[in-house]
Amino acid sequence: MPGRHSIFWRLVVLVAGFCLAMIWAADYIGKQIDHRTSYLSEDARTILEDYAAEAGAALRQGPQVLDRWLTELRRKEDSWAVVVDRNLHPQGSQRLSDDERQLLTFVRHHDWPMSRRGERLPLISVPLGETGDQLIMRLPERLRPWRNHTVLTLLAVYLLPVVLSVLFCWLLYSLLISPLERLRRQANALRGNELDTLIPPSIARRRDELGELGRSLEYLTQRLRDVIAQQQQLLRDLSHELRTPLSRLRVACESELQGEELRDRVEREVGSMQQLAHNTLELAWLDSEQPRFECQPVDIEALWEVLCEDACFESGWPRERIRSELPEGCQVLGNLNALAQAMENVLRNAIRHSPEQGIVCLTARRSEGWWNLSIEDQGSGVAENDLQVIFRPFSRLSAARPGGDGFGLGLAIAHGMVRMQGGRIWAENGHKGLRVTIRLQDV
């Protein structure tokens, strides 16, 4: 079933309104045509009133004059006519048959509408004055109404639907085609690498399918623009980061270092560049592919033990300086490898920026179906304005915290890994140092 804001309902209203308008307009205009064409024209009424004036004048001159005038009128109009008093008695010498007397009961006043249902032209009465006498005659063919009825009806039947169809098509164009044309121009702008062009607000505010399509296209435009900008920034940062180890390699090769010392230096710089390339490619893969990791229950305590063992082996830290305060049954819904890499990057960052004899501690707190896993060090913390910056690629705040080595990619990769598991990661200053919290769904 279409949603409440679906364009389907607008089309229903538009089509139903068009049909109802067509029916109403045809009925109304048809009735108006029938009504207006059923009256005698002004010229016809004038002619009949002139005949009535002549009949009145002939009646005043006597029955013989009236008879001659009626004979002349019948010959002129080829129509039956008679002058009667208020009691429908004929004036002059004319006598009426029973059928003619019965017809006098169906006489219509010349100002009344005429019916088209009769087989013959109607009998029309025209008063001769205030005496009650009236001229009654069969309406002449040349004076009959409804002459333009057929033409007007055809215009109402054919022209009206054409006009309403044009209006319907215009409304349909405004509702569908015009927004689609704007979206087409937006798509063509994307094809021409015009990434700064956004859809009009009139489409973005719509809550139907076209509005969703426009907002999706706008998101795609912004996403494409951000990806291109990030790739360009990534290339700039990567080239900058590679200059330092390459410069050190060149200096080492030009120096008078002995073989063993030179080999150690080369291995260290090559390893650094290899790690930089690996992290950069992984970050680029996370940003471009945006994979959705398959999640399963992960035991945090068991995972933490493995991470601590590896971190102590690499950094030389005593195991007792890495602690955990985990409640029993702490399990999250996540991807084991992705979560392990995210927590490992955060742990290495905490070790790197911890002072001598510092302690790194993992705590967990359940909150409304989620687990908040917090890794806190005892370093100098981070300025409030930089708490979001540290998750950006190649961002390093080593001037404010001890342990300034690294490329600034660890927390950026951790941010991407957690996000692809449907979680969140953020940093805040704890009571002793920096606290990084990973929020994942409870099992």
User: Which tens digit of pLDDT belongs to each residue from 119-175?
Assistant: 678 888 889 877 888 888 888 878 777 766 667 777 777 777 788 888 888 888 777
CA proximity to 412, closest of 184, 237, 268, 258 = 237
How confident is the model at residue 279, as a pLDDT? 66
Least confident of 194-203, 298-307, 360-369, 372-381: 194-203
Query: Which pLDDT score, from 0 to 100, does residue 364 have?
Result: 92
Q: What is the mean pLDDT of the chain?
A: 79
Distance, in Å, from the CA atom of 73 to the CA atom of 173, rounded to the nearest integer, reads 63
Extract the tokens encoding 106. 């169906």
Per-residue pLDDT reduced to its tens digit, 300-346: 999 999 899 888 887 788 888 899 888 888 899 988 888 988 898 89
Mean pLDDT of 32-57: 83
pLDDT score at 318: 86
Provide the 8-state DSSP code for 402. S
Q: How confident is the model at residue 406 (pLDDT cuts 50, 70, 90)?
A: low
Q: Secondary structure of 77-123 in the HEC alphabet?
A: HCCCEEEECCCCCECCCCCCCHHHHHHHHHCEECCCCCCCCCCCCCE
Classify residue 334 by its DSSP letter: E
- Which pLDDT value is given to residue 403? 40
Q: Which two tokens stand for residue 237?
A: 């940062």
Residues 218-241: tens digit of each pLDDT:
777 777 777 777 677 666 666 656
Structure confidence by residue, pLDDT tens digits, 374-392: 999 988 888 888 888 888 7
Pairing type for strands 108-109 and 322-325 reads unpaired
- Averaging pLDDT over each range in 89-103, 193-207, 304-318, 358-372, which range is the top one? 358-372
Task: With beta carbons less than 8 A apart as the criterion, state whether 332 and 340 touch.
Answer: no
Is a pLDDT exceeding 60 seen at residue 96? yes
Residue 177, pLDDT > 80, answer no
Q: How confident is the model at residue 373 (pLDDT cuts 50, 70, 90)?
A: very high
378 with 355: CB under 8 angstroms? yes
User: Which pLDDT does position 400 carry in this prediction?
Assistant: 42
Q: Are 397 and 386 in contact (CB under 8 A)?
A: yes
Packing angle of the helix pair 178-191, 209-254 (nearest 10 deg): 10
Q: What pLDDT score was predicted for residue 37? A: 75
Q: What is the pLDDT of residue 425?
A: 92
Read off φ and ψ for residue 198, nearest 5 degrees: -115, 160
Contact in structure between 14 and 21 (CB atoms under 8 Å): no
Residue 257 reports pLDDT greater than 80: no
C-alpha distances (whole Å) from 262 to each of 115, 160, 246, 249, 256 are 119, 95, 14, 9, 9
CA 437, 440, 443 angle in degrees (round to 5)? 140
pLDDT band at 372 (very low <50, low <70, confident <90, very high): very high
Q: Is the pLDDT of residue 399 over 60?
A: no
CB contact set of 263 (below 8 Å; sequence gap of 6+):
none
Local structure of 431: helix, strand or coil: coil
What is the distance between the terminal CA atoms of the chain, rounded to a whole angstrom? 34
Q: What are the phi and psi torsion angles at 431 (to 5°)?
A: -75, -15
C-beta atoms surrounding 345 within 10 Å? 21
CA atoms within 13 A on the CB side of 198: 10
Q: Mind listing the pLDDT tens digit for each residue in 53-84?
A: 888 888 888 888 888 888 888 888 888 888 88
CA torsion, points 228, 232, 233, 239, in degrees to nearest 10?
A: 150
Positive or negative, the CA dihedral 271, 276, 281, 283 is positive
DSSP-assigned beta bridge partners for residue 299: 331
pLDDT score of 282: 66
Output the pLDDT for position 73.
87
Contacts of 178 (CB under 8 A, 6+ apart): none
Model confidence at 402: pLDDT above 50: no
137, 109 in Cβ contact below 8 A?
A: no
Q: Does the structure show a pLDDT above 70 at 97?
A: yes
